[in-house]
Amino acid sequence: MTQADTPPSLAEALHQDALAVNAELDRLIPLPDGPERVVHEAMRYSSLDGGKRLRPFLAMRSAALFGVAEDAALRVGCAVEMVHCYSLIHDDLPCMDDDDMRRGRPTCHRQFGEATALLAGDALLTRAFEVLADPATHPDPAVRCELVAALAHASGADGMVGGQMIDLRASQFAQDMPAITRLQQMKTGRLIGFSCEAGAILGKAPSQARLALRNYAHDLGLAFQIADDLLDVEGDAAEVGKRVGKDEDAGKATFVSLLGVERARAQADMLAEQASRHLDMFDERAVLLQAVARFVVERRS
Amino acid sequence: MTQADTPPSLAEALHQDALAVNAELDRLIPLPDGPERVVHEAMRYSSLDGGKRLRPFLAMRSAALFGVAEDAALRVGCAVEMVHCYSLIHDDLPCMDDDDMRRGRPTCHRQFGEATALLAGDALLTRAFEVLADPATHPDPAVRCELVAALAHASGADGMVGGQMIDLRASQFAQDMPAITRLQQMKTGRLIGFSCEAGAILGKAPSQARLALRNYAHDLGLAFQIADDLLDVEGDAAEVGKRVGKDEDAGKATFVSLLGVERARAQADMLAEQASRHLDMFDERAVLLQAVARFVVERRS
């Protein structure tokens, strides 16, 4: 590999992609002058300038495997980030987790009130589908429809929302490893899975490549969640940017409460390694996706 | 017109379409066995067996103008009804209108709790887009994408959600006729507009026919809202199926508070008549859509 071919370091790539996502979200969520302006302000408050942008990164870097135009992948990355941000807004509401802090700032409802936060979440979810269906996302409407269907499936009652539902009622059900694994695959895994799958959809990738990405996303999603559970136990609220220790306070089983810290850490490392290997077929083109698998289990926030 | 060509009466057509909508929603919102089941129960509780099904009726009868397959129009009608039902669930929440009764039954959050109601609304909205993007809705993906984009635009921050936002903060803004008209066009008009437009999209209707339907929907939506305001003042809670008198209690300007009962009634009648005339180009094919314009201003619930 010559110097010119050397991929940027992961930190640099994450940073560059996050900047691009912010700029694109800024365009995709304009600020009108009418009396409805406050809901747009709340949408922007909860989606601009925050978070790791892991999901857009996955979408953009998966798309790059197949030579997809960068602006198309960026739009899809923004759509999945809108869905992620809507889920955080609703999850933070008093009737759900009742959280005051998110990404180091007051949560949306603490800043704008509950009603506005509710509507801002609704509007972000809706906007995500509008962006995907727009011809600017891909010239082929069949590709756009596949993206809409896949995102809806990942984020609806059979995916993320179903996972949130189970999470709320977890204490009423068996909380063993199979149950927690299914819950987390629905709650966070499906959207991470969509992010990777989106690249394959945009690139009309062959089925073998799709399968590799699906397996990668599966292991990555679990590794991500175990790392999240470890942060909830070991992390510092200021660094993490949100309340920690809340799973234990809520009496919720997690990978850490079921496995213990050491085994959970080992499991996360193993999954990250395994995720990486699923992408070996892409050779050095997948180096950033492989690096992000390690990043996900080593992050401090 | 021969006997065989005579259209069924409006009441019969509304009833038949509502039965078809119920049966289709029952299929589109299945009830799984897992611990996430309760969110599906709440989705079904708030969408099956209730309401006038005005929006699906408009979608199905508009589609019929262009010879669209009935099952396609039915799916689109169900999608728009899902969005309508999600908006009612969220609108009824304590942080919004805080209503206990809807369609003569406890509201979703009174029946299932706030968190489940919030998630059921989210899931219905998501499912609507999934249904539209599905190849079963139309063989042409360009048509499906147009439906997704149009529904998202009608229901998001520039449409229904924006209207709900303004409504919440109405007391902080001028509440004159132009302001109330814009609010109501966003809050209820856009989704009614989509319902009619959907038929034209499904039928790949020529632009003149689309424009006629758009004008029809515009006047129908306003007539509908004025009739709603009149019911809020004159209606009986048991008959209407929800709390009445709440606009006055909330100090909200309405068409009735601005125009008075008599002028509001006259305005609704005029708009219904005008809506009807926009469809004259369709001759007797539009007789049911014309009849529903009268129904909308004469209804008691």
Count Cα atoms within 13 angstroms, Cβ side, for A280: 4
Q: For residues A278 and A251, which has the higher predicted lDDT (pLDDT)?
A: A278
Whether residue A6 is predicted with pLDDT greater than 60 in this model: the reply is no
The rounded Cα B168 to chain-centroid distance in angstroms is: 20
Would B258 be classed as within a structural domain? yes
**What is the Rg, in whole angstroms, of the alpha carbon atoms belonging to chain A?**
19
Residues of A in contact with B121 (CB under 8 A): 122
Mean pLDDT along residues B157-179 = 92
Q: What percent of chain B has pLDDT over 70?
A: 96
Q: Is A140 left (phi over 0), alpha (psi -120 to 50) or beta?
A: beta
Rounded mean pLDDT, B22-29 = 98
- Given a cut of 60, whether residue B2 has pLDDT beyond it is no
Query: What is each CA distance from A99 to A50, A86, B186, in whole angstroms?
Result: 17, 14, 31
pLDDT-based confidence at residue A224 (cuts at 50, 70, 90): very high
Cβ-contact A62, A198 below 8 angstroms: yes
Pairing of β A105-106 and β A101-102: antiparallel
- Beta-carbon separation of A186 and B162 below 8 A: no
pLDDT digits (tens, 9 = 90+) for B233-261: 887 777 777 777 777 777 788 999 999 99
Average pLDDT in the B106-128 region? 98
d(CA A295, CA A217): 14
Number of independent structural domains in chain B? 1
Could you tell me which residues come within 8 angstroms of residue B55 by beta carbon, excluding any fewer than 6 positions away? B77, B80, B81, B84, B191, B192, B195
The pLDDT value recorded for residue A263 is 97
Q: What's the pLDDT band for A1 if we cut at 50, 70, 90?
A: very low
**A273 CA to chain B: closest CA distance, Å?**
31
Mean pLDDT of A145-152: 98
- Residue A225's pLDDT is 95
Average the pLDDT over B116-126 and give the result. 98
Average predicted confidence (pLDDT) for chain B: 93
pLDDT over 50 at A112, yes or no: yes
Amino acid at B301: S
**Displacement of CA B292 from its chain's centroid (Å):** 13
Return the H-helix or E-strand segment holding B289. helix B287-298
Choosing among B33, B140, B148, which should be mutated to test the A contact, i.e. which has the most A CBs within 10 A? Answer: B148
Q: Which pLDDT tens digit goes with each residue over A252-301?
A: 889 999 999 999 999 999 999 999 999 999 999 999 999 999 999 998 87
B33 three-state secondary structure: coil
* β-bridge partners, A105: A102
**3-state DSSP assignment of residue B159:** coil
Query: Chain A residues with CB inside 8 Å of B169's CB?
Result: 35, 38
Length of chain B: 301
pLDDT at A3 over 70: no
Domain that holds residue B270: 9-298
Asked if A35 and B119 come within 8 Å (Cβ–Cβ), the reply is no
Q: Compute the average pLDDT of residues B77-97.
A: 97
Distance of alpha carbon B21 from alpha carbon B293, whole angstroms = 20
Q: Which chain B residues contact residue A173 at CB under 8 A?
A: 35
Q: Which of A8-12, A117-121, A143-147, B134-138 has the lowest mean pLDDT?
A: A8-12
Q: Which of B122, B164, B184 to substitute to test the interface with A, most A CBs within 10 Å?
A: B122
Q: Is B34 on the interface with A (CB under 8 A)?
A: yes
Do A92 and A111 meet the contact criterion of CB atoms below 8 Å apart? no
Lowest mean pLDDT across A78-82, A134-138, B103-107: B103-107
Distance CA B111, CA B124 (A): 17
Look at residue B109 and tell me if it is in a domain. yes
Binned at pLDDT 50, 70 and 90, residue B1 comes out as: very low
Distances (CA, A) of A153 to A121, A166, B73: 18, 17, 22
Q: What was the ipTM of the complex prediction?
A: 0.95
B20 within a domain of the structure (yes/no): yes
Q: List chain A residues with CB under 8 Å of B132.
A: 148
Put simply, whether B38 touches A (Cβ < 8 Å) is: yes
What are the CB-based long-range contacts (under 8 Å, 24+) for A259-268? A259/A177, A261/A230, A261/A233, A261/A234, A264/A226, A264/A229, A264/A230, A265/A226, A265/A230, A267/A226, A268/A223, A268/A226, A268/A227, A268/A230, A268/A297
Residue B122, pLDDT > 70, answer: yes
Asked if pLDDT for residue A240 goes beyond 80, the answer is: no
- Measured distance between the N- and C-terminal CA atoms of chain A, rounded to whole angstroms: 33
The enclosing domain of B142 has a CATH number of: 1.10.600.10
Region A212-226: mean pLDDT is: 97
Per-residue pLDDT averaged across A47-52, rounded? 88
**Is residue A186 a contact partner of residue A210, using CB atoms and an 8 Å limit?**
no
Task: Name the least confident of A232-236, B59-63, B158-162.
Answer: A232-236
A119 touches chain B (CB under 8 A): yes
pTM for this entry = 0.96
Task: Report, as an integer, the average pLDDT of B77-94.
Answer: 98
User: Chain A neighbours among B 50-69 (CB < 8 Å)?
Assistant: none
Query: What would the mean pLDDT of A168-172 be, rounded to a whole number?
Result: 86
E strands of B141-283, at which residues?
A: none
What pLDDT, on the 0 to 100 scale, is given for residue B65? Answer: 97
Q: Distance (Å) from the C-alpha of residue B66 to the closest C-alpha of chain A?
A: 22
Sorted by sequence, the CB contacts under 8 Å of residue B151 that are 6+ apart come out as B79, B80, B83, B128, B129, B132, B194, B198
User: Is the pLDDT assigned to residue B287 strictly greater than 80?
Assistant: yes
Q: Which of A109-118, B60-69, B224-233 has the lowest mean pLDDT?
A: B224-233
Mean pLDDT of B4-12: 72
The answer to whether residue B1 is domain-embedded is: no
Q: Is A133 on the interface with B (CB under 8 A)?
A: yes
Q: pLDDT value at position A8?
A: 67
Distance CA A138, CA A126 (A): 19
**Cβ contacts (< 8 Å) between B129 and chain A: which residues?**
129, 148, 152
What is the C-alpha to C-alpha distance for residues A14 and B86, in angstroms, rounded to an integer? 36
The answer to whether the Cβ–Cβ distance between A123 and B34 falls below 8 Å is no
Structure confidence by residue, pLDDT tens digits, A7-28: 569 999 999 999 999 999 999 9
pLDDT of residue B6: 52
Q: Is the pLDDT of residue A37 over 80?
A: yes
Half-sphere exposure of B139 (CA within 13 A, CB side): 2
CB B61 within 8 A of CB B220: no
Assess whether pLDDT exceeds 50 at residue B16: yes
3-state secondary structure chain A: CCHHHCCCCHHHHHHHHHHHHHHHHHHHCCCCCCCCHHHHHHHHHHHCCCCCCHHHHHHHHHHHCCCCCHHHHHHHHHHHHHHHHHHHHHHHCCCCCCCCEECCEECHHHHHCHHHHHHHHHHHHHHHHHHHHCCCCCCCHHHHHHHHHHHHHHHCCCCHHHHHHHHHCHHHCCCCHHHHHHHHHHHHHHHHHHHHHHHHHHCCCCHHHHHHHHHHHHHHHHHHHHHHHHHHHHCCHHHHCCCCCHHHHCCCCCHHHHHCHHHHHHHHHHHHHHHHHHCHHHHHHHHHHHHHHHHHHHCCC
Predicted local distance difference test score (pLDDT) of residue A7: 57
Residues of A in contact with B144 (CB under 8 A): 141, 145
Q: How far apart are CA A84 and CA A80, in angstroms?
A: 6
Contacts of B272 by beta carbon, 8 Å cutoff, 6+ apart:
B219, B220, B223, B293, B294, B296, B297
For residue B154, is pLDDT > 60? yes
- Gyration radius from chain B CA atoms: 19
Q: CA angle, B198 as apex, B195 and B203 as ends, to 5°?
A: 140
Q: In this structure, are residues B119 and B53 in contact, taking their beta carbons and an 8 Å threshold?
A: no
Residues B164, A119: C-beta atoms closer than 8 Å: yes
Answer whether A35 sits within 8 Å of B145, measured CB to CB.
no
The pLDDT of residue A290:
97
CA distance B101 to chain A (A): 19
The percent of chain B in helix, strand and coil, each rounded to the nearest 5, is: 75, 0, 25
